[in-house]
Amino acid sequence: MTHDFTGKRALVTGAASGIGAAAARALAEAGAEHLVLVDLDKERLAAMDLPCAVSLHAGDVADEALWDAVEADASDGGTTLDAAFLNAGIPGQPATFAKMSFAEWRKVISVNLDGLFLSLRSSMRLASDGAAIVLTASVAGVKAEPGIGPYGASKAGVIHMAKIAAKEGAPRRIRVNAIAPGGVDTGIWDGVPFFDNLVAKHQGDRAGALSAMAEGMTPMGRFESAEEIAGQVLFLLSGASGTMTGTTLVSDGGYSL
């Protein structure tokens, strides 16, 4: 994967783990000069070892004060963003609508939509003309599955937010697209009961459990890796996708077909 980000400044949220960490690394390795990294997990964020300058902001993407600080830091240095990957998200605990508590619904919506709104608002404010923004949706926002109501609804919302932001950004040539992964072996599956059960059935082999799941669910018999998603994100952030805006790139081994 060889998109060139030499001298570019980029923001990544959910940067300390999984897809966000892979994308931050890919951006740094593709020449990015400065990365603004946001994550709830202060320790993992501090442990990120990247070959470029970084500004770290530990906190909740749904906390408006965090974004005030990100914007204040950027304006202090008189800087703008060339790229933003707004990726932080949580799945919540599976339950049907009938059995779901309002608190669980609010928790997922808070991170996946409120947090994304605040991330997007700051990114649009900080973006230079011609910048590119990618939002992490999910195949769950494309294909309806029972038991993941707030996750699916929030990710469908993400896909529509990309379309609206694309229209709003177009006069300044700011492109906004979404990426919808199917299943990636990251920390997001930890504590999700059906996956924990599957891992137990595979004697603790997480990758094996995910592979077995993908074999049953996808025409290609496989899901994607965090590094593959990161490569696709860099494509969407780069000039190679220069006429694409408001689209959702689905990367799911054909699961949603």
Residue in 36, 87, 94, 165 binding ligand NAD, rule: CB under 6 A = 87
Q: Single out the residue of 236, 255, 244 nearest to residue 5, CA to CA.
A: 236
Q: How far is the CA of 234 from the CAs of 10, 59, 84, 216, in angstroms? A: 11, 25, 10, 29
Distance in Å, CB of 6 to ligand NAD, minimum: 26
Question: How many chain residues bind ligand NAD (CB under 6 A)?
Answer: 26
Is the separation of the CB atoms in 142 and 248 below 8 Å? yes
Residue in 36, 40, 81, 250 binding ligand NAD, rule: CB under 6 A = 40
User: Under rule CB under 6 A, which residues in 137-176 are in contact with ligand NAD?
Assistant: 138
Q: Does 39 engage in binding with ligand NAD (CB under 6 A)?
A: yes
Q: Does 183 engage in binding with ligand NAD (CB under 6 A)?
A: yes
| Interaction mask 229-248, ligand NAD, x per CB under 6 A | --------------------
Question: Can you tell me the distance from the alpha carbon of 159 to that of 112, in angstroms, rounded to the nearest whole number?
Answer: 12
Residue type, position 147, single letter: G
Residue for token pair 């190679």: 240
Question: Can you tell me the distance from the alpha carbon of 173 to that of 132, in angstroms, rounded to the nearest whole number?
Answer: 9
Cα 141 to its chain centre, rounded Å, is 13
Q: Does 19 engage in binding with ligand NAD (CB under 6 A)?
A: yes
Question: Which is closer to ligand NAD, CB of 113 or CB of 124?
Answer: 113
151 is catalytic: yes
Distance in Å, CB of 117 to ligand NAD, minimum: 13
Q: Does 224 engage in binding with ligand NAD (CB under 6 A)?
A: no
Tokens of 2: 């060889």
Residue in 10, 17, 142, 250 binding ligand NAD, rule: CB under 6 A = 17
Rg (CA), the chain: 18
Q: How far is the CA of 40 from the CAs of 115, 178, 215, 225, in angstroms? A: 12, 22, 33, 22
Q: Does 41 engage in binding with ligand NAD (CB under 6 A)?
A: yes
Q: What are the catalytic residues?
A: 151
